[in-house]
Amino acid sequence: GSWRSSLPPSERPGERRTAEMKKLYGKDAAKIQGMETAMQLTFDRNCDKKQPKYWPVIPLNL
């Protein structure tokens, strides 16, 4: 599968990501980034462990 179409935060240049988060979320940036990182880690871990396949195989909405 190609579910890594969007790079998780860990694979982005860390400093740029932090600066972007600061610009978007201001003083709450660290909190939001923490929640997002945890969620992306869960998603990545589940995908590594369970090896899910896309359903349906062909996108419904092209």
Partner 1 sequence: SPRFIALCPTTLSSSSSSGAVDEEEQRLRSDLRERFLRTLLLMTDKQVEFNMHEKVRVRARFGASDIDVLNFQVSGLETPLGVQKEALLRCQDVISCSFEL
Q: Which residues bind partner 1 (CB under 8 A)?
A: 1, 3, 5-6, 8-9, 12, 16-17, 20, 23-29, 31-32, 35-36, 39-40, 42-43, 46-47, 50-56, 59-61
Q: What's the closest the beta carbon of residue 4 comes to partner 1, in angstroms? A: 9
**Distance between CA atoms of residues 41 and 4, nearest Å:** 12
Contacts 24+ apart (CB under 8 A), 47-52: 47/1, 47/3, 52/1
Q: What's the closest the beta carbon of residue 7 comes to partner 1, in angstroms? A: 8
Whether residue 13 is preceded by a cis peptide bond, meaning omega within 30 degrees of 0, is: no
Q: What's the closest the beta carbon of residue 5 comes to partner 1, in angstroms? A: 6
